[in-house]
Homo-oligomer: A and B are copies of this chain.
């Protein structure tokens, strides 16, 4: 929101939840939505009927994260409602209608990421999600359910699933709904079309026959059926029965108007130049001997948590900073030592969770609407996990040679490709950042893979196509300054559109379709008078007045 004062914080913990109840019972956890009507993140709307705003979603995101790290034994998560007559009414309309465009877009992006995180938990983390729809699931409420593996719906006259965004609000089921209905649940497009124009939704046997849910169950058999399905879903999981989780302790974060700093991550906020200078520090100690030594201080985990929080903070609270520069700093050998551990124990459940979390955080960077410029300088440690930052960047500069003068002692900057860069941290399109970079050029990709483990100074890295520009010390400051100033002079919207295209060469997946195709159409509609103008549907909803549309088709 930026302007209206209070910054949004993404840090929370179950003890502080206002909207969710988390209960863990052996291999089944229950996450029950119980939104506090007066608990909106901003003033001006009431969160009735389990409708949600960003604050509700922040808690959900936190719960999903903790279930993975803190609860190794949990194999099924039952997502349900603690309210009697409703599962979830979706995003709060009054909140949406009164929010500026950038807030709506950022909110939807985070919501999408959280839902993708749920799917990541099922697909890779061994935690199945069961949507137990014990009442109506409308709009974003049904979209949330669509992120789950299995959908159960109470079979009564009032419990419907619905996507009423189009008929009631003139917008799209834009947080995955349109994509998941056809591409995940394989609902036929004509049925999907009818369903999405029918504001009252579909329930009972028809909902199951159309594949909108997997099963409808009479209320009399509900608890028993949900428990049975939860147990069935748990049976397939490879999560360890006897492991100890890692408690995600509070982050140490200092936040001022001009800087955000954590233990390993720091950002200087330059509002005049509209740029955030982000530096990620490498490990400050040797890695543990094996996975049993991993706790919340484990560098890859601690650093990823900080980076994740920083991305969310900057995206939400600093929309004026259009450029993020990405630097690293530290001991290359230590980064490689951690990389080695991660690679060696990648099948261990906890190491796997750390890698999957790093993957999700890097994906968050990929869909961030800021220009990313990597600055590879002497003293940096762009290797393996940290090299992904440079590969995620829109362009990169690597110093050719060294800085001279007082205080500059480090040798030439080098980057190192490791086994972590060749597939363990895929982008949303399913390819590694390297494979995306060299999409359609297998020869170039093979040459790079042949250099795994080699420290590559500027000319070698440029020769392999790993960095964009390699100025020497004489030109460095000027070239970097011009790149940033020029970038800051362009239309922020056009940059966002360009980056959203160039970052995703090659194949598309359900995830990239949601962030690319669906989100782009929703953003378009979120700018159209038919939705957000004074007579638009989003503004007229709940007033008793009808929207007045420009009927021409575009």
Contact = CB atoms under 8 A, between A and B. Distances in A.
Contact of A182 (B395, B439, B513, B551): B439
Interface centre among A501, A521, A550 (most CB of B within 10 A): A501
A208 B347 CA distance: 44
Interface centre among A171, A181, A436, A491 (most CB of B within 10 A): A491
A182 B440 CA distance: 9
A343 interface: no
Interface string A108-124: 00000000000000000
Given A101-B554, A322-B553, A393-B190, A518 B501 contact: yes
Q: How many subunits of this chain does the assembly comprise?
A: 2
A127 B319 CA distance: 49
A158 B172 CA distance: 47
B530 A492 contact: yes
A396 B188 CA distance: 12
A105 B554 contact: yes
Contacts of A552: 2, 102, 319-320, 492
A394 B193 contact: yes
A245 interface: no
Interface string A20-41: 0000000000000000000000
A179 B502 CA distance: 7
A186 interface: yes
B395 A193 contact: yes
B468 A497 contact: no
A167 B495 CA distance: 9
Contact of A183 (B193, B393, B505, B523): B505
Given A189-B394, A492-B551, A508 B497 contact: no
Interface in A470-527: 486-488, 490-508, 512-513, 516-518, 520-525, 527
A143 interface: no
B551 A502 contact: no
Contacts of A194: 395, 468
Given A490-B197, A493-B524, A516-B516, A369 B554 contact: yes
A194 B186 CA distance: 40
Contact of A507 (B490, B506, B508, B520): B508
Contacts of A216: none
Contacts of A102: 552-554
Interface in A439-486: 439-441, 465, 467-468, 486
Contacts of A506: 183
Nearest to A194: B395
A126 interface: no
A362 to B, nearest CB: 15
What 6 A-B pairs are tightest by C-beta distance, nearest first?
A520-B520, A170-B491, A186-B440, A508-B508, A497-B521, A182-B505
Interface of A: 2, 101-102, 105-106, 165-167, 169-172, 178-179, 181-183, 186, 188-194, 196-197, 274, 319-322, 369-370, 393-396, 436-441, 465, 467-468, 486-488, 490-508, 512-513, 516-518, 520-525, 527-528, 530-531, 537, 547, 549-554
21 contacts: A105-B554, A166-B495, A179-B501, A186-B439, A188-B438, A189-B505, A190-B437, A193-B499, A197-B486, A197-B487, A321-B553, A369-B553, A488-B551, A491-B531, A494-B531, A496-B521, A501-B521, A504-B517, A508-B508, A520-B521, A520-B523
